Amino acid sequence: MYELLTGPLLWFSFAVFFIGLGVRVWFYFQGLDWRLDRVAYTTQLPYGLKGAWRSVYKWLIPFGTHSWREKPVFTLIFFVFHIGLVIVPIFLEGHVVMIRNGIGVSWPTLPQGLADFLAIAAFLAGVGIGIRRFALPEVRILTDAKDVALLLLTLALLASGIMAARHTESYMTWLTVHVLCGHIVLLAAPFTKLAHIALFFCTRIQLGMDFGIKRGGMKTNFDW
């Protein structure tokens, strides 16, 4: 089972993940329409690119925008959650070794202690996000089963990874659960809200171009 999951199936899941998200990005930009969106994307490209860059960059910085600063606790939880979910999987030694064995490509890794810390922090932040989802009426009213399912999947991925890293007696069980969750995440990403992994950049670029070209970007930079 484990060999299969970390062998050919893994490359299949990666392919679905990258090609699927690539296709979504492609169709997103293909579907932008200057008349319908009322943004002169191509004729005012330099203003658009400037607006796009600022719109992405500012939102990637913790507390970089008015919105992030207005909700400091959420912002902290949000960034801890996402840093854990992005940095750890890419730079974890176990993952890098697996990739190297598979395709011979390698890159620097995180110290295990730091990776553990980031992963545990991300798990706790995820729990916090879950609690917030039900504790706050303005979030509860928006929440649906898919939101909960995706959060549980992500938490399961983190928890099983954290447990597997502890090399306990049930190591193989945790590892198998972890790899299974990883597959589900990779396979589901292009078809669910996990697509925001790529579409976050697309929608931010679009709104950045809108403000950069049409809504004032030729006179001032929007103060995100």
Partner 1 sequence: MPEGKLCNKKPVSTREELDALLADTNGRQYYAEMEQLDVDADALWATIQKSMKSRLKTWLEICAHCGLCADSCFLYTVNQKDPTQVPSYKIQSTLGEIVRRKGKVSNEFMRMCMDTAWSKCTCCNRCGTYCPYGIDMGVMFSYLRGLLHSQGFVPWELKIGSGMHRLFRAQMDVTVEDFVDTCQWMVEEAQDEWPCLEIPIDKEDADIVYMINAREAKHYPEDIVEAAILFHIAGENWTMPSVGWEMTSLAMFAGDWEACKMQVETIYSAMERLRPKRMVATECGHAYRATVIEGPYWAGRPDGKPPVECIHYVEWVAEALETGKLKIDPSKKIKEPVTVQDSCNYVRNAGLRECTRIIMKHIAEDFREMTPCKEHNYCCGGGGGFNGIGRYRKQRNIALKMKREQILATGAKLVVAPCHNCWDAIRDLEEEYQIGIKWTFLKPLLIKMVEVPPHLRPEE
Name the site residues for partner 1 (rule: CB under 8 A). Answer: 27-40, 43-44, 55, 59, 66-67, 70-71, 74, 133, 136-144, 147, 193, 195-196, 199-200, 202-204, 206-208, 210, 213-220, 222-224
Closer residue to partner 1 (CB): 75 or 176: 75
Closer residue to partner 1 (CB): 126 or 208: 208
CB of 207 to partner 1, least distance (A): 3
CB of 183 to partner 1, least distance (A): 23
d(CA 14, CA 88): 17
CB of 169 to partner 1, least distance (A): 38
Q: CA of 119: how far to CAs of 3, 82, 155, 194, 211, in Å?
A: 24, 10, 10, 19, 36
d(CA 50, CA 72): 27
Closer residue to partner 1 (CB): 178 or 204: 204
Closer residue to partner 1 (CB): 168 or 203: 203
CB of 74 to partner 1, least distance (A): 7
Backbone angles phi, psi at 93, to 5 degrees: -55, -45
Closer residue to partner 1 (CB): 53 or 91: 53
| Contact between residue 189 and residue 157 where contact means Cβ atoms under 8 Å apart | no
CB of 117 to partner 1, least distance (A): 25
| Contact between residue 222 and residue 215 where contact means Cβ atoms under 8 Å apart | yes
Q: What is the DSSP letter of 212?
A: I
DSSP 3-37: HHHHTHHHHHHHHHHHHHHHHHHHHHHHT--HHHH
